[in-house]
Structure 1
Amino acid sequence: MKKLMLLGIMMFSGVVFAQEKDHKYEVVDNNVKATYFYENGAVKQEGFYKDGKVHGKWVAYDVNGNKQSLGEYNNGVKTGKWFFWTDNNLSEVDYSDSRVASVKSWKQDALANRN
């Protein structure tokens, strides 16, 4: 389970820093809000940049609009609790200085209400 979780985290991190052709940037309160899209137009990720670094809340969605992950950056560093949804699991990863401090996982009967 930990290997799967770490793989998911690494994939998410790679997507955050990957350059996408389908994106939109807008200035919001001295930050840049970034929105990345799937080919079908659905939102893939949303988050903010401050001084060129990821900063604030970031959310990733699957192609159907279901949340895949939710977390926060502080000047490019993952901080606090991040949540990752998979088929029938919810995992909570606690970060300290972009390092995994702890991982908790729960099985859920249905994740239909994760939006």
Structure 2
Amino acid sequence: MKKILTIAMFCIAAIGYSQDITPTYEAEGELVKATYYHEDGTISKEGYFKNKKLTGKWTRFDKQGNKVQLAFYKDGKKTGKWFFWNEGSLQEVTYVNNSVKSVNVWTSESKLAFNR
């Protein structure tokens, strides 16, 4: 009985694994654009590689297609301003040399100043 149960569990796991959507990779000059997908086929994240290292803009989406993260890389290292959208807030994280330099959190209650 244990063998049958083990085989059944293995088959279920194999079927579930085989239904994963394979990422796509597309050459664009020196860069390779990578697109990863959620189980339902919607885009999970997309960005670029150069020399097998993360580079440029990477964007992550939730299953409804809403942008939840905007990130930047240079030679595989975190750089510049990253943005994280959460319920009711926007988090801005600044990276310098792959390390966090500053963090700002913006909420709907935050006051916004602008220059005319």
One fold, TM greater than 0.5?
yes
User: What stretches of structure 2 of length at least 5 have no aligned partner?
Assistant: 1-19, 110-116
Equivalent residue number for residue 65 of structure 2? 65
The answer (yes or no) to whether the contact 2:21–2:38 under 8 Å persists in 1 is no
Q: How many residues align?
A: 90
Q: CA offset at residue 108 of structure 1?
A: 2.9
Q: Which structure's relative contact order is higher, taking Cα pairs within 8 Å and 6+ residues apart?
A: 1
Q: CA offset at residue 75 of structure 1?
A: 0.5
Q: CA offset at residue 22 of structure 1?
A: 2.6
Equivalent residue number for residue 40 of structure 2? 40
Q: CA RMSD in A?
A: 1.4
- Counterpart Cα distance in 2 of 1:53 and 1:27: 14
Q: CA offset at residue 30 of structure 1?
A: 1.3
Max radius of gyration: which structure? 2
Determine what percentage of the aligned residue pairs are the same residue. Answer: 43
Deviations 1:14-47 (A, max 9, x none): xxxxxx8531000012111000000111000000
Equivalent residue number for residue 103 of structure 1? 103
- Counterpart Cα distance in 1 of 2:61 and 2:108: 18
User: What stretches of structure 1 of length at least 5 have no aligned partner?
Assistant: 1-19, 110-115
Q: 4+ residue stretches of structure 1 with deviation over 2 A?
A: none
Q: Structure 2-normalised TM-score?
A: 0.74
